[in-house]
């Protein structure tokens, strides 16, 4: 297991650049990810976890289309129905594929143990998650990463349910939230301990400097469903020193983290997680930040709400 790149918020000082020390900024730029333990205190983490459990217990399945979330792994089509495509300014619940009987389609798990994720506008519609997203600390982190006009989008809780929480294959976040040039950064917060057994993240360290964003996840031009298409614009952010020779096969470093940890993930970085084969859930909260000054076109699957994507600098 690779040693973590860590920064405790209490270690910040007046000499650091916008919330992150120069050492940690250098680590992020080199590795493509940064682990920040205790970014949320224990009380806030517990409160967000309980809020998540309350949402899972209280949502209704009576009028739910029973949309399953698929990452496109194992030759399954990536999710793309209307319930998904219109979720950018709502809080919606997406089921785990393995929560259903493959023959009859019957739900095999109680609803609170069957949801893959909740999304995608938690940071605006849920007060608890809004406070933990549009915070001074996160704004300073974004400023230290060089954002001029950081905009928040695609906030979601990923549940990684016990025994059925699905594998997520290697991917880049900028594939799903493409701007020209690419600018996405993931803010990934553990609400429970993430371990090798329950599906913690693994990273191809430094791959953001050698892996271009070659395709993007968009709405089909006929308006029905989603697809992946070739990227016609920039494939790297302008501030990346690109490595000309890519590795033949990326090596992934598994990173276990404790509840309350924030992980920053560069939009070009290849990362993945394995199936949760344990009896413990792995609840996390994540949101993404893009540069508001970059072009985010209408082909992207996630449409901006009427008021635009949320401003991080208040």
Tell me what pLDDT residue 6 has. 46
Most distant CA pair in the chain: distance in Å? 61
Determine the pLDDT at residue 71. Answer: 61
Q: Residue 67: what pLDDT?
A: 85
The answer to whether 7 and 34 have CB atoms below 8 angstroms apart is yes
Q: Give the global pTM.
A: 0.91
CA-CA distances (angstroms) from residue 208 to 35, 46, 154, 174, 190? 16, 33, 21, 11, 22
- pLDDT reported for residue 173: 98
pLDDT along the chain (314 residues), means of 10: 44 51 96 97 98 97 84 57 93 94 91 96 98 97 97 98 95 98 98 98 97 96 90 97 82 98 98 97 98 97 96 94
pLDDT at 7: 44
Residues 6+ apart with CB under 8 A from 287: 122, 123, 133, 152, 153, 154, 155, 156, 186, 187
In sequence order, which residues have a C-beta less than 8 Å from that of residue 170 and are 6 or more positions away?
204, 250, 252, 270, 271, 272
How high is the pLDDT of residue 246? 64
Cβ–Cβ under 8 Å, residues 257 and 263: yes
Q: Residue 78: its pLDDT value, please?
A: 57
Residue 201, strand partner residues: 255, 273
Distances in Å between the Cα of 19 and the Cα atoms of 11, 47, 171, 251, 310 are 10, 24, 28, 30, 21
Cα angle for residues 205, 211, 212 (degrees, 5° grid) = 145
What local confidence, expressed as pLDDT, does residue 10 receive? 43
Residues 6+ positions from 23 with CB-CB distance below 8 Å: none
| Rounded CA separation 75/301 (Å) | 20
């Amino acid at each position: 297991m690779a040693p973590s790149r860590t920064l405790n918020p209490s270690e910040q000082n007046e000499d650091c650049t916008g919330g992150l020390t120069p050492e940690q900024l250098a680590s992020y730029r080199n590795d493509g990810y940064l682990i920040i333990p205790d970014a949320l205190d224990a009380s806030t983490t517990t409160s967000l976890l309980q809020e998540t459990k309350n949402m899972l217990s209280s949502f209704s399945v009576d009028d739910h289309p029973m949309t399953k979330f698929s990452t496109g792994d194992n030759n399954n089509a990536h999710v793309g129905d209307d319930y998904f495509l219109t979720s950018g300014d709502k809080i919606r619940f997406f089921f785990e594929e393995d929560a259903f009987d493959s023959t009859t389609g019957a739900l095999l798990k109680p609803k609170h143990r069957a949801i893959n994720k909740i999304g995608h506008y938690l940071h605006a519609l849920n007060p608890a998650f809004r406070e933990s997203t549009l915070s001074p600390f996160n704004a300073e982190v974004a400023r230290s990463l060089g954002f001029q006009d950081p905009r928040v989008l695609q906030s979601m809780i990923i549940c990684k349910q016990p025994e059925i929480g699905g594998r997520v294959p290697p991917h880049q976040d900028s594939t799903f939230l493409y701007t020209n040039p690419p600018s996405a950064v993931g803010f990934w917060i553990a609400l429970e301990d993430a371990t090798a057994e329950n599906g913690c993240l693994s990273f191809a360290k430094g791959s953001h400097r050698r892996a271009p964003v070659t395709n993007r996840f968009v709405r089909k031009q006929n308006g029905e469903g989603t697809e992946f298409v070739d990227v016609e614009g920039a494939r790297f952010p302008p501030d990346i020193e690109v490595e000309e020779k890519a590795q033949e096969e990326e090596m992934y470093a598994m990173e276990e983290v404790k509840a309350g940890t924030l992980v920053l993930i560069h939009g070009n970085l290849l990362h993945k997680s394995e199936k949760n084969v344990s009896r413990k859930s792995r609840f996390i909260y994540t949101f993404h930040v893009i540069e508001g000054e970059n072009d985010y076109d209408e082909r992207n699957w996630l449409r901006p709400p009427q008021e635009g994507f949320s401003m991080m600098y208040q």
